[in-house]
Structure 1
Amino acid sequence: MRAPLPPRWICGAAALAAAAWAAPASAQEAGPARGLALNRFSPAPAGDRMFGVPSPYAASPNQDGSATLHVMLLGDYAHNPLVLTRQGSDENLGAIVGHQLFLHLNSSLTLWDRLHVNVDLPLAVLQQGDSPAAEGLSFRSPSDVQLGDLRVGLRLRLLGDYFDPFQLAVGGFVWVPTGDRDGSFVGEESVRGLPQILAGGRIPGFVWSAAAGVDLRPAQTFAQVRQGLMFNGGAGVGLLLGSEEQLQIGPEATVSTVLEDPEARNTNVEALLGLRYRFAPTLRDFELGVAAGPGFTSGIGTPDFRAVAMLAYSPEVRRADPDRDKDGIVNEKDACPDVPGVGDPDPKKNGCPPSDRDEDGILDRVDACPDKPGVANDDPKKHGCPPPGDRDKDGITDDVDACPDEAGPANEDPKKHGCPPPPDRDGDGVIDAEDACPDIPGIRTSDPATNGCPGDRDGDTVRDDQDACPDIKGKPDPDPSKNGCPVAVRMTETEIVILQQVQFDTGKATIKKVSDPLLDEVAGVLKEHPEIAKIEVQGHTDPRGGRAYNIKLSQARAESVMKALVQRGVEAERLASKGYGPDVPIADNDTDEGRQKNRRVQFKILEKKPKQQQEAP
């Protein structure tokens, strides 16, 4: 609120004490005559759906008339709820109350699913201001922790249940003067009341509340602003999100104004955007909420910003389940509504489980042994009767178990039925007696020397479990890291890497014979991997001799290598050549070693066939 100083520097609080004008030499302290409950935020009772707008229901999760307790701790912060300004210029002379933080201990009790009793005890834990002064008057800002006025509420639900789209109730609040009233801003010296009419409702995914009433309080004037009998109203809506509607988000607004000579300075309009979350699934009776919003008028107690946070224990009200035991028979027709059962023409048995005295899952009417737990049997004379003995506990009765003392699986062969299978230590499906590698999982083959041993995917005679390059043909090597790998070639996702350089005659594109084995390996890799659709054969040089010369030389060398691969059986359409000259060095051209590394041929993978094309015949 902006408490204005009118023209001629007259302080708005002068109307409170005429003696203040007779003291020009020193400022006189001014304040509310009987104490002033500055805070215009009145928290909704614990268990309600909004932060500041009460709901019309009596929240009882049991819906059987038993009493339900709701408890909430709520923090309410207001910024600049009372600021002194000069009328006409809106010059800010300082905040009488710049910061005000209340903690509310709020509890509710619902009775008979219809009556709701609420108690709210506010405590001002932070109050700060500038203690402004002007024209011989000073306003002392509060600073102490102070107890506010105790609020007691009562409401009666008239229409609608908790989940109905329209609900109606009457109720109200009474404030008992328990707060500090000696020039404070937390309480008043007289009892105040607020009778209300409340409406609201809930549909899947949406909840709303509205309230209107008259705030009955003695009249007083503070800073030339009339306070007294006031209209008080508010409304809020919330979207309910989540699979169990545990998250609520939505706006709410409150308005109050003096009924006698209303104006901007005694009218309060605020709005909040709030978020509430009910913890799920194990702590559904606890709820956390935050909200914030602006004030829109200059009325006493209207802040320019308000923030609210709350934590509540509020037992959740859940929709009644029409079929609690989920047996397809509604509760009102189910003789056993909490135990799944079956339909029966007898109302006393409808929805109840059928008789099964021995609880073996076989109904008494078809159980050949209704008092002894048994098993199903195609023979009606044995159906529901205990099975023959099973000494080895393998599920195969001794009378048909070929190995009654050794647990084993079923087998179509009566001589093996119930007997343990032959040992297979590596679990590869080849029994140890036939497994050439009984301790290493392998594959079944027709060759006794390799049956049960790991395969050889690349066909280079080195077993996959010993092959360091199982997908590329290589040669045996005593070094495990090289065993089964090509001598001079490796393959990555983007390149066929050669571990030796392709050798050319000096200054020419003629490939030396010494590089034939290397090119044989490159061609072999390309033949073994038809999924490689396109390879770029790259030629690179060092910078000596000039760029134009080296571009031409590197292109000629790349073409020579591509031609050599075609001669070795690689399809020409899978190959492309390009000379890069000295443009892509991989080492320092200032040293002989670096220049030697830069004179190279590379095989870059440009394109691979999709997997389905690789598998196509």
Structure 2
Amino acid sequence: MNGSRKSVVTMAAALGATALLAPLNASAQGFELQQFNPMPNPSGNLFSTSSADVGQHLDWSAVAIFNYSNDPLVLRNSDGDRLDSVVSDHATTHLLVSLALLDRFELGLDLPFVVWQRGSGIPGGEQAPGEGGFGVGDIRVVPKVQIFSTRESAEDNGVALAALADVFIPTGNEESLQGGDFRVGPRLAFDAIVGGPRIAANVGYLYRPGTSYENLTIDDTLGWNLGVEVPIIEGLRATAEAYGKITPLADAIVAEDSPTELVGGAKYQIGNVLMLAGAGVGLISGYGTPDWRAFAGVGWAPALSSPAPEPEPTPEPEPEPEPEPECRAASVELDCPDVPAASCEEGQLTSYVAACEEGACAYREATTTCGEGTVCGTDEEGQAACVARAECEVDGDCTNAPSPTCEDNTLTTYAGMCAEGSCEYAPATTTCEEGFECGLTRGVPACVQKTELVKIDEETKRIEISEIVYFATGSDEIEERSFELLNQVAQVLENNPQVEAVRIEGHTDNVGRRASNVDLSQRRAESVRTYLINRGIVAERLSAQGFGPDRPVADNGTATGRGKNRRVEFHIADDE
């Protein structure tokens, strides 16, 4: 190029880039043309925007992404008119792997291969990017650590913050603009999940050796990313992001130093198989910004956690019609036939009379003291009544005792006694013991054993329970509906002193962090142990241990299986 012809080289897409003032210096260093750097583990991040999450311990991923960019480097004159494409086509395959450690760290690796590059080259310079063919780009190592998170699992609502770095190892060909010098770029990643969608933002600073091409400065850059990811249906997510950078050490902030792009696409995951595709355009035509780009990938990633199903809404009951009157005063005896039977209480006769009050049956109680020579007993029809005092010599002669009754779990029986030649029937009340309730045995009121919820299985050496122990969500607080079940467990232990030691085990599903699940299962097992001790079981007979998600009994991939895995078990420990 000579002085009479003013030509420019811009590192930009054909979107109105600012012109450079002179051709590239023949001795200038090269730089990496690729501006799209996808994150390792794209299932847990966006595309090039990092989330603040890391995988569970030893979770790993391996994904290949093919990335094509059109006209990332063009030649223009001083009026901004395009003269030629220095690099018209640029295609890279990224091999991405990642490994999570200790539920807080993640290490990623990006091995880029330039599989196709075409163009005319840079006039007057040593760089010939248009002649570049297959080659290895700069290897990128991405360590990441989560600083804090308010979420128990990656799908929960909440916010999180992480720190990471992009460390570029100069393995690419500088002359073909497929690589550059050693570079390191620390950045912060913040994200928030609100009702399903994730919003993520990154900001970072890339340190690199500086070089200049007239008014184009290749030096340290301040980079930013902003993205959003929205679940569409199970396994399908839509992703959009914008990213760019500026060169703060340049003499002025110009378009050539400020490449900016907008990309969008989707991810679909079935089990551990991840597929993704997307496309984008240049917004500010800095160096490396294409007219447009397209990418697609496939690989292996940790399976997505399925959210717990939302409870089905309970339909509002339809308003009941106004009820017909239960009774009328003129026909109360016919309308209200369920008159309670008379009874004897403390020597007095209690009887009932039917009445119709505001259209509803009512039964008014009347108490009668039996007159002289009579006693409250049973008449010839088997009903309670004031009957003639029987003549007797011994207690066995008093055979008209009222029938036993049940009320408020209290059994009332009557014993006949012969006093001064007459029978008297004294009531005796018995409150049914724990594990029993007032009911019927062969039609006669008595204290009967409640339905058994707990039994000892001699073969499995376990105390089997027919219900689960319920806790408040995410808590070790036992719900009231499980008190009766645990009362029966205590009764079984009290009735079987030969069972000297019982281990109470807590188990969870695999949703959330393993450490959190182990802690929750331990606290829940301790809560059950404390409850049984408060019911009178000797503390030395009981131990508690939480296993978290380590011992599933069902498939954690379904809501039903996860429900079965959230459980408390009682193991007889002295024979193990």
TM-score (norm. length: structure 2): 0.50
**Larger relative CO (CA 8 A, sep 6+): 1 or 2?**
2
Answer 1 or 2: which has greater strand percent. 2
TM-score (norm. length: structure 1): 0.46
The structure with the largest alpha-carbon Rg is 1
